[in-house]
Structure 1
Amino acid sequence: MKVAFLGLGVMGYPMARHLKDKGHEVTVYNRTAAKAEKWVAENGGRAAATPKAAAEGQDIVFACVGNDDDLRSVTIGPDGAFAGMKKGAIFVDHTTASAEVARELYAKAREMGLGFVDAPVSGGQAGAENGVLTVMCGGDEADYARVEPVIASYARACRLLGPSGAGQLTKMVNQICIAGLVQALSEGIHFAKKAGLDVEAVISVISKGAAQSWQMENRWQTMNENKFDFGFAVDWMRKDLAICLAEARRNGAHLPVTALVDQFYSEVQRMGGNRWDTSSLIALLER
């Protein structure tokens, strides 16, 4: 297919590459033009100067940007992607954003004869680079059916969860679960150290039982060694948790642990850990 990709950050850069590798005709846009030019030099395709120019003539326009305002900036307005998209084209948003903005842009797209699928991802930078992301989608079944085979270029799991906004709501569930898991793992490793146990031996045993998780399998060693200069940044996690907590205030959900862990992350930021991996929660316990 002819596709565009807007936003070449740590996630978008490899995702766009996978689309090209799978044979799609790819046009890229990035706010910093030099990064788009670098991508083209490495992968082929072409770069466009604006989201509108990138979207012109494309079957699908993908985006992975920072937040709600960034998403609006690349979709609406005279230079936004919606202004350049042909009738029947579909916009797929991989940004972790609010369900509100997903519904807002879905409605705007429908008015213009376009499709819109909110499709936040999980799996981090490694998942994007290796093409094994999990993608959570909201939108119309017909639009999803058209984009799912293309999303498969960089995903190992992809599912439509419901109408517009359902993808973003599911990503909130994902982040709520991760926040609690990382805090529990931090406390477990900290406790094991204080108890004089061999942390590696402990993890090798409990990771085969009910305590097993992705966080345990992939983060226990770096947490034990106090290494956090990689991965999903604390700043990004706080942005995501703010979205979760705002939605909870609207729908009446009670998220006491999530709110507490969000405050723990604010303490990590005060320690200078803004760009540390989210597993750095253990640093608060071992100060």
Structure 2
Amino acid sequence: EEPLPPMWEARTDSHGRVFYIDHRTKTTSWQRPKLTDESNVAESVTTEASNDIWRQQLDRRYQSIRRTINRRQREETNTPPVEAEPQPKPPAPIEAAPAAVTASADLLNSPALRFVTRPDFFSLLHNNDEALRLYNRNPAIRQLLSKVWRNPSSFQRYQHNREIVTLLNLFAEDSRPLPSGWEARLDKHGRPFYVDHQNKSTWYIDPRLPQLVSPPSQTVTTDDQSDSGRAPVPPPRPPLPLPTATGNQGAVATAPSFEPAIPTAYNEKVVGFLRQPNIGHILKERHPDFVRNSRLRDTVNRVRSEGTSALDRLVGEDLVDLTIVL
């Protein structure tokens, strides 16, 4: 018989059958191996051995990477934290309070806010066609201005808003010189801005806005100052002339004859009252039917836009309705 290949062994099982054991691959077979198959077996063994070596190399490389990652994590965990440099303590709020109060007072006295809160702001807006078009087509401007009218101190958040700056600069009187303590400059983009050296602040809004000048004959009393936060109330109308008493023998007593002319100052106060930004809410609270009365709304809008001349032309029911509302 042909001898068995190396690393092979022949054995007999319990039934007397012969089987063969391959000690290289640790396998058994009922067929007798031949020497010609040894080369194929050797190739398979060599391939499997090379695969084992390749897997061992990958495993060692993986284990090395894991050890490196774990070591770095332990070093970062055990590293003591770097002590931060001592920071200066912030100033106490009590010390900063006067500065905040001063800044708020300067803002309330700024030309821009005084112009926005004028009672005749809408009259000036209707007389400026370019500003009116911008106001009507931009709802963001209307929303921001309504917030400022409700709370003037909120103007600090919107004073650099591009739409607000563009709208207010349309009212600037360029022919006038800058107020005392103001200076005009250009930023790095060539955009003009204005420096208030007195209050140490900068503005993109031109300070040469038209300001409301109080007539010299009117003086502010203590009662007016205490009610400055509320809407102005028009004064009462002058009394009508006394009727002439007549008897059987003619006139017994007559009152001095004069024309019941309404003073001009009263008409101006009525116009100023109706030109308030929130006049719609005020009239709605006083007269709930104001929203449904279109004729009364038209009358109010006509007085707001045309001024005292519209009051002089009011007759009949329009005058009665307006008088009841006021």
TM-score in terms of structure 2 length: 0.26
Which structure carries more helix by proportion?
A: 1
Larger radius of gyration: 2
